Copies of this chain bind each other. A is one copy, B any other.
Amino acid sequence: MKLNKIAETLNIQCDKDIEILGLNTLLDSNENQLTFLENKKYVNDLEKTKAAAVLVKEEFALKVPKGTTALVCDEPYLSLAYISKLFAPKVVETNGEDCIVGENTTIMPNVYLGKGSIIGSNCTIMAGAFIGDNVTIGDNTIIYPNVTVYRDCKVGSDSIIHAGTVIGSDGFGFANRKDGKYIKIYQNGNVIVGNDVEIGANCTIDRAVFQSTIIEDGVRIDNLVHIAHNCKVGRGSILVTQVGLSGSTILNEYVVMGGQSATTGHLEIAPFTTISARGGVTKSITEPKKQWAGFPIMEHRIWLRLQGKIAKLLK
């Protein structure tokens, strides 16, 4: 879509007819992508962006680097929401190539296979599963009944997805308009699940707003776990039942999250960290191999001391 046409939908003056292929963050955008700056704490990223264009408030227009077109507006995030719809693919494709299914793969009755999807060999796709358009599934993978994989997502080889789990639902994103209406940020990214991953029943893994929500190789996820958009769950990590990861949480390799633990999002957890059951991670954890507990989070040994103090208080 041409940049001048996009600008026109926002009533912004712009005569550049560069082809825009998608939306992305300031740092990750390339010369065919459009980005935005809402929060001034990212001004440094603005100066480094390689995006074709950026939605930006007037006060930051001078900081837009050469080679990037400034689209000046009052509410960049709201403008992003409006144009995110222009880049949203259809919910279901009616045209396109049919699905390709590998050898020795069993497709049970009542399975829906989307256009352009590719299923590897020796897979079992069980009744009631929904495999959306352009989904890729590796070899030897089992998809249990009533699993939904939204369009454009990828699942690796030797993986198991238990019944009722949803992969690729929209991340929870919207901009606030002054009249109180929420404008949806279309979630045009996807989910990538690696190899040798097992995901329990009735989990939800949201697709990324831009790029991918990532579940790396060897991860084990229990039932009823929620993983928000743009999270990364590092290799070998273990998420016990009812864990909730807020948006853009990065778990490095071999992180263990106990049952009902959670993160507040936009933070990173060091490798080999253990979060005890019910732990609520409110800040990044930078030192590896430690155990944490409580909400707000504290080192587990401190949490034990706190329990001792509370016991004393009760005497």
Which residues from chain A sit less than 8 Å from chain B, CB to CB?
A: 91-92, 106, 108-110, 112, 124, 126-128, 130, 142, 144-146, 148, 150, 160, 162-166, 169-170, 172, 174, 180-182, 184, 196, 198, 200-204, 206, 218, 220, 222-224, 226, 228, 236, 240-242, 244, 246, 254, 259-260, 262, 264, 277-278, 280, 295-296, 302, 305-307, 309-310, 313-314
Contact = CB atoms under 8 A, between A and B. Distances in A.
Given A112-B128, A226-B242, A280 B278 contact: yes
Contact of A169 (B108, B162, B278, B306): B162
A218 B177 CA distance: 12
B262 A277 contact: yes
A185 to B, nearest CB: 11
A240 B304 CA distance: 29
Given A110-B128, A202-B204, 19 more contacts: A92-B106, A92-B126, A127-B130, A128-B148, A145-B148, A146-B166, A148-B163, A162-B166, A162-B170, A164-B164, A166-B202, A169-B200, A172-B220, A180-B254, A181-B218, A182-B196, A201-B204, A260-B262, A306-B314
Contacts of A228: 241
Residue of A126, A201, A220, A264 contacting most chain B CB atoms (<10 Å): A201
B172 A240 contact: yes
10 contacts: A92-B124, A92-B126, A112-B127, A112-B128, A128-B130, A144-B169, A162-B169, A166-B202, A201-B204, A306-B310
Contact of A130 (B163, B202, B309): B163
B244 A260 contact: yes
A305 B313 CA distance: 10
Contacts of A306: 310, 313-314
Residue of A91, A169, A306, A307 contacting most chain B CB atoms (<10 Å): A169
Contacts of A302: 314
Contact of A126 (B110, B130, B184, B305): B130
A306 B182 CA distance: 34
The 3 closest A-B pairs by CB, nearest first: A130-B145, A148-B163, A112-B127
A314 B181 CA distance: 39
